[in-house]
Amino acid sequence: MPQIVLAPMEGLLDCVLRDVLTRIGGIDRCVSEFIRVTNTLLPERAYLRVVPELAHGGCTPAGVPVRPQLLGSDPYCLADNAARVAGMGCDGVDLNFGCPAKVVNRHGGGAALLQDPELLWRIVSAVRKAVPAHQVVSTKMRLGFLDDSRAVECAQALQEGGAGEIVVHARTRADAYRPPAYWARIADIRAAIHTPLVANGEIWNTEDASRARRESGCMDVMLGRGIVTDPGLGRSLRTLDAGETGAATSWDDLQPHLHYFWTVVRARLERRQQAGRLKQWLNFLRRKHPQAQAAFTSLRTVQDPSSVDAWFALQAQQAGYAAVSAAPAVLAY
């Protein structure tokens, strides 16, 4: 079956949302938010803050592997840190060559590295030598920095360095997140290298996924904002791949999962952050579900977590689902 990978999204797709989305299903693997590496060997606790799943076999509670992602520009420092995090029990290490954030790019990280294919090669080569052979070194890139003229050259550098998988976000750094995604350019890369490729960018529904696969020539896809907006997207795509038809994930289906999400947020985050974290996800969900708009409107000015607790209790009563609680293993994260 084609692989469906959950994207890294800084400030959004953390361990809590990874837990919920992998419980809903259809995801084969996750990549964590980036862990910034500068000039030091980070302690294990730094990795556990971003990827607490490392203390639980490197998987979410649903059993889906989570691959830590490192961001930096020094080959030797990245190699040292990759060796350390690989030794903590993950299935591999991912390298970030796609982040478009100005603060990251100013320091020569993320998508800025796509201006220097030789440095890409040196980074991947150093990390590949440092990570045990049975663990994957994967990479995530964009089509380029200001333009896509060096897209193939960059992918070739990653392959020659030893990357076992390359995710291609089908836009340049200059494109940011503006549609469209140029999936056909991934096909150009695919024609030039043999390393497995994963198509990413602007996949909001199964129709987008089918078109991305057709234009890129890649069956494996990475889902980001699309699956945050429609948490059942992975499961719908998996059903499509199996040649079956199935109902979309409804708002009623999502209610217990949303409640579970809130329960874990309450356990993990500081009180002042809790309501905002819920509203952040509702803001995405309302693109797909009108009921999420109503929920967002109801909670928009609410800051007191106790008031949110009361709102969820009422929703559970009206929808007829049992109140949920977070599993102890998740609370330990």
Catalytic residues: 99
Q: Within 13 Å, how many C-alpha atoms sit on residue 254's CB side?
A: 25
Could you give the 3-state DSSP secondary structure of residue 309?
helix
Q: How far apart are CA 282 and CA 228, in angstroms?
A: 9
Q: What is the C-alpha separation between 198 and 140, in angstroms, rounded?
A: 9
Specify the DSSP class assigned to residue 30: E
What Cα–Cα distance (Å) separates residue 225 from each residue in 43, 58, 94, 128, 284? 31, 23, 19, 30, 8
Assigned token pair, 112: 């800025």
- b/e map of 79-97 (b: 16 or more CB within 10 Å)? bbbbbbbbeeebbbbbbbb
Q: What distance in Å separates the CA atoms of residue 190 and residue 178, rounded to the nearest whole number?
A: 23
